[in-house]
Structure 1
Amino acid sequence: MKNLLKTLPLLLTFCLIGCDDDPAPQPQPNPINTEVKFNHVKTIMVGGETAAEISAYDATTQKLFVVNAESNEIAVYNIKDINNPVQLTAIPLANGAPNSVAAYDGKVAVAIEDNIKQNAGKIALYNAENGSLINSYTVGALPDMVTFSKDGKLLISANEGEPDDTYTNDPEGSVSIIEVESGIVTTLNFDAFNADEASLKSNGFRVFGPNANLAKDVEPEYVTVSDDSKIAWVSLQENNGIAKVNLVSKTIEAIYPLGFKNYNEAGNEIDASNKDDVKELKNWPVYGMYQPDGITYVNINGNGYIISANEGDARDYDSFSEEGRIKDITLDETTFPISEDYQNEANLGRLLITNTLGDEGNDGDFEKLYSYGARSFSIWSENGTLIYDSGNSIAQELLARTPDRFNDDDSRSDDKGAEPESVEVLNMSNERYILFVGLERTDQVLVYDITNPTSPVFLDILSHEGDEAPEGLLVIPSSESPSGKDLVIVSNEDSGTVSIYENQ
């Protein structure tokens, strides 16, 4: 699809020249490299590892709220002067750990998992001005992400519902919708899709937990909401899908299987080994499962799109693990001839794959190989159709510009590469749309212009010494920014730091 879309402008130009006497349209000036240059301004040291996972900004108080799982609190900073953030009194939490935070018009919502993860979780709502508790709402097990609707009337949480290590307690994954004014909570499960399990799996959706049906197996990860606050989309990371939720009727309308990415196609080359002593992109007979973590919604010229960070994730519990390396499995010799030496660690032997897919003959050998994530970001239609995938763009840019950081100095090539973790879009005042992609393993944020969603253009790489594992991205448009300029704020989980970048 991507290659076809790139070719279309050339075909149209050929037709105009060859089929019409009018001159071909002249190329317009390229504004891509103007007005977009984000520079590092300040880094806030919140704490140690897990002290700075996700951040939220409240424009009415000009405060930044940061999930600090290390101290079991929400750290609070006044960023009226972005060069000199002032730490304020934190919001303490009890009876659970925070996973996510969101802010809107003087209110701050926190997703809190129970001390026993399989129990119901809570969304706590606080006053942004003084940190006092406004209300607390019971939601599904392990609320992993919470967000406000764009009009602020609803809170939506993705409740992951992870099993325990023994896989004997596996709560249903769910999505909760909270009416902020009335306090009414509606928690939606996926029971209605149990009957569709076979057809969804045939299109690339995964249901594979021990003794689990679809409703138990789905694990909602991340939520994004349409501009009109009527629809939400929820990533189902381990399952390789996205769910569409109607916020008006409070129903889950659809599940979209995301299918698989073919690393044997041109433009999809990967480095599959950390033992070959070379950083090199090559085609391999392997598929990637998209498995998005962070997703975000954007409307460009009247068309809605879902953008996904295709990180990938495996289930690895004491009683059940799907992880395996290609060197340790039996390959079908017809599909994978011995002469190709695929299981050599310098070739595909080190690549981490799932053992739940690929044995198509159910005879103990693998005819297909499926690895975690897609090492890319993707742009999907509102109904789950792939519009664009970045192919190997992330790897290409890192190899060309920061080769020492490529796949964490090649150490993660056999796993999920750079691990795109999060995505966020800034709608600039001149109707340019700038995408930020956080890379967990290389400690960087890539910047793309996606004003034309079918042909994104790479712009820059953001990074700051000491920042490790960007987990959360937050954009603040100039209209709400304390500095009057567009900002992007990066929360770094491993280093416990939050860095502020400003568009110059």
Structure 2
Amino acid sequence: MGAALAAAVSTASAALAAPTAPGPVGARPVGIELSVLGTYETGVFDASAAEIVAHDPATQRLFVVNATAGTVEVLDVAEPSRPRKVGDLVTAGVRAADGSRVDVRGVANSVAVRSGTIAVAVEAADKTDDGWVVFFDRALQAVNAVRVGALPDMLTFTPDGRTLLVANEGEPNDAYTVDPEGSVSLVPVGNPLRVTQDDVRTATFHAWDEDGDRTLHPEVRVFGPDVHGDRYVSRNLEPEYVVADARSRTAYVMLQEANAVAVLDVRAGRFTDIRPLGTKDHLAVGNELDVSDRDDAVNVANWPVRGLYQPDGFDSYLWRGQTLLVTANEGDAREWSGYSEVSRFRAWTADLPAACPGSPVAAFLAADNGIDTVAQLRDNAALGRLNVTTTLGRGEDGCLEAAHAFGARSFSIWTADGEQLYDSGADFERITAATFPSYFNSNHREHSFESRSDDKGPEPEDVVVGRVDGRDYAFVGLERIGGVMVYDVTDPRAPQFVQYLDNRDFSAEPGTSAAGDLGAEGLLFVAGKDSPTGRPMLVVANEVSGTTTLFSIERTTPGKGPTR
């Protein structure tokens, strides 16, 4: 970390020492500190050249998805200060167990490593067709492949190493005339060479369809065109990310657009529940947000907005014997040429002149905040520019209840049963504003001031949890302004903010090496026992800058800084 950036982080910590709202917005010298070890640069800007990353401790190699090249790059990190490329995993043309061949124009979406087996998820050239998982050995040779569902977007091994779980997102085509089912494939991987297509099981959502025997919770968002006339729920739910519990018996599957999490019985290979995540009340103290990119100011305040959590990446850890889920509440809209749920608040409320009695909007307009009418609320310096969903927020008689925005601009901790134990509230916007006041809510493709205030703010993309010296830490990557937020989550009811580190240089032109990391996408925690340094590391793949950066995680002593 450069001197200027270090000073900025130090200043931000001092400015946040006295919390102004519930939640740990005050930095304090507890436990650990991140610093840059080394960076690998693809030299490719704004083309998803570094997305998801996996690590093999036996060879000290990183495997980084390069979507623009359609491959997985292999990096030697035995010297983490000088990561170097040693090869590629090429999936095109690999023959699968069912006799098919992986599309030449197929796109690698995810990678996972376990005991010398490397698994790569590949979507078909036509993403609505079924994709593949390709298996490689440590010699970087493809040894087998199997067919999975449409758009396999993420995969992971269960902790016992016996099963590979593949989240098949099943997105529609852009015209929304074809919409495949979302599902999870379960692949036994005791010996990848011997896996046949018949070994692959598929967990579907058929039980919640029209002819199924399960009733979907009304808060699970199922919406948009029904282009097939059957299996509407199955086609609507789109698995984004999957995490298995420590016993490898239960997996949790994020349904981002639906704002819900599905529970998967790994042994039975079937879903047992779908739980809505609810909404975040941005009128509550501590849940403030900045909603306008046109007011030329940092204005983190309360508004009559409900945030749809809609996590992307998430992780789990054990606390007092129970599994907890930690989510990065990014937000995502269903937005295609054939159908879009997205509108600016100003346009969406053009025919909604009045607030519903007793609604969040009515309460806001009745308060002493200088805004007394829906018309004033529609101003571009107020909510006018905020991107909202058109599927929620109208009363039955055409009145306005509340705006529903995408994402919660935070991270949360949940029990496995869906109870929220903690949410970071307005921390991310307050901390980034104090650290980089001239680049608050900047975009990742260019340096800007509050250009993302109207649309998901810092946009937390991914989170990983790691144990360091007996304490649990959450590392949250911010996709837009960039960087990593670090929290001590040892007590999930009272997490503590530890550090915000952004390896980005706002004085350098985006697209140049000097600009640093842009667009944090995939995060990976490497435990000390698996690290080339003997100390824990954090690895961040950045899709806009095409860089993969390794961070050391050092123990800190109050008043003395990092120690080994």
Q: Structure 1-normalised TM-score?
A: 0.90
Aligned length in residues: 473
Alignment match, 1:312: 331
Separation in structure 2 between the aligned mates of residue 483 and residue 62 of structure 1, nearest angstrom: 10
Alignment match, 1:287: 306
Alignment match, 2:536: 486
Alignment of 1:197-216 (within 5 A): 200-202=216-218, 204-211=219-226, 213-216=232-235
| 1:414 pairs with 2:460 | no
Separation in structure 1 between the aligned mates of residue 294 and residue 278 of structure 2, nearest angstrom: 29
Structure 1 residue 34 displacement after superposition:
4.5
Contact 1:153 1:180 in 2 (8 A): yes
> How big is each residue's C-alpha offset from its partner over 1:32-60, in whole Å with a ceiling of 9 and x where there is no partner?
73441111011100241211001100111
Contact 1:201 1:207 in 2 (8 A): no
Give the match's secondary structure for 2:240: strand
58-67 or 457-466, larger mean C-alpha shift:
457-466
Amino acid across the alignment from 1:165:
D
Alignment of 1:18-417 (within 5 A): 33-48=29-44, 49-94=47-92, 95=103, 96-127=106-137, 129-181=138-190, 183=195, 184-194=199-209, 200-202=216-218, 204-211=219-226, 213-329=232-348, 330-335=351-356, 336=361, 339=373, 341-361=376-396, 363-408=397-442, 409-417=449-457
> How big is each residue's C-alpha offset from its partner over 1:269-311, in whole Å with a ceiling of 9 and x where there is no partner?
1111011111011111111101010011111232210011110
Contact 1:76 1:87 in 2 (8 A): yes
Give the match's secondary structure for 2:185: strand
61-70 or 32-41, larger mean C-alpha shift:
32-41
Separation in structure 2 between the aligned mates of residue 53 and residue 484 of structure 1, nearest angstrom: 25
Identity %: 40
Structure 1 residue 316 displacement after superposition:
1.2
Separation in structure 2 between the aligned mates of residue 304 and residue 382 of structure 1, nearest angstrom: 6
Structure 1 residue 402 displacement after superposition:
2.5
Contiguous gaps of at least 5 residues in structure 1: 8-30
Separation in structure 2 between the aligned mates of residue 177 and residue 383 of structure 1, nearest angstrom: 23
Separation in structure 2 between the aligned mates of residue 180 and residue 167 of structure 1, nearest angstrom: 35
Separation in structure 2 between the aligned mates of residue 400 and residue 89 of structure 1, nearest angstrom: 41
Alignment match, 2:508: none
| 1:441 pairs with 2:484 | no
Separation in structure 2 between the aligned mates of residue 187 and residue 73 of structure 1, nearest angstrom: 26
> How big is each residue's C-alpha offset from its partner over 1:193-233, in whole Å with a ceiling of 9 and x where there is no partner?
2258996453x210002016211100100111111111111
Alignment match, 1:23: none
Alignment of 1:420-499 (within 5 A): 420-428=460-468, 430-465=469-504, 466-499=516-549
Alignment match, 1:16: none
Contact 1:331 1:367 in 2 (8 A): no
> How big is each residue's C-alpha offset from its partner over 1:453-499, in whole Å with a ceiling of 9 and x where there is no partner?
11111111122132100000000010110110110000000010000
Contiguous gaps of at least 5 residues in structure 2: 1-18, 93-102, 366-371, 443-448, 505-515, 555-564
Query: Could you say if the C-alpha distance between residues 89 and 332 of structure 1 is closer, same or farther in structure 2, counting changes exceeding 3 Å?
Result: same
Separation in structure 1 between the aligned mates of residue 51 and residue 465 of structure 2, nearest angstrom: 19
Amino acid across the alignment from 2:65:
V
Give the match's secondary structure for 2:336: coil
Separation in structure 2 between the aligned mates of residue 481 and residue 301 of structure 1, nearest angstrom: 27
Separation in structure 1 between the aligned mates of residue 527 and residue 175 of structure 2, nearest angstrom: 46
Give the match's secondary structure for 2:429: helix
Query: Could you say if the C-alpha distance between residues 360 and 198 of structure 1 is closer, same or farther in structure 2, counting changes exceeding 3 Å?
Result: farther
Separation in structure 2 between the aligned mates of residue 65 and residue 198 of structure 1, nearest angstrom: 40
Q: Structure 2-normalised TM-score?
A: 0.81
Query: Could you say if the C-alpha distance between residues 79 and 300 of structure 1 is closer, same or farther in structure 2, counting changes exceeding 3 Å?
Result: same
Query: Could you say if the C-alpha distance between residues 165 and 66 of structure 1 is closer, same or farther in structure 2, counting changes exceeding 3 Å?
Result: same
Amino acid across the alignment from 1:334:
A
Higher relative contact order (CA 8 A, sep 6+): 2
Amino acid across the alignment from 2:355:
T
Query: Could you say if the C-alpha distance between residues 220 and 121 of structure 1 is closer, same or farther in structure 2, counting changes exceeding 3 Å?
Result: same
Separation in structure 2 between the aligned mates of residue 219 and residue 197 of structure 1, nearest angstrom: 20
Separation in structure 1 between the aligned mates of residue 531 and residue 77 of structure 2, nearest angstrom: 9
Structure 1 residue 405 displacement after superposition:
3.5
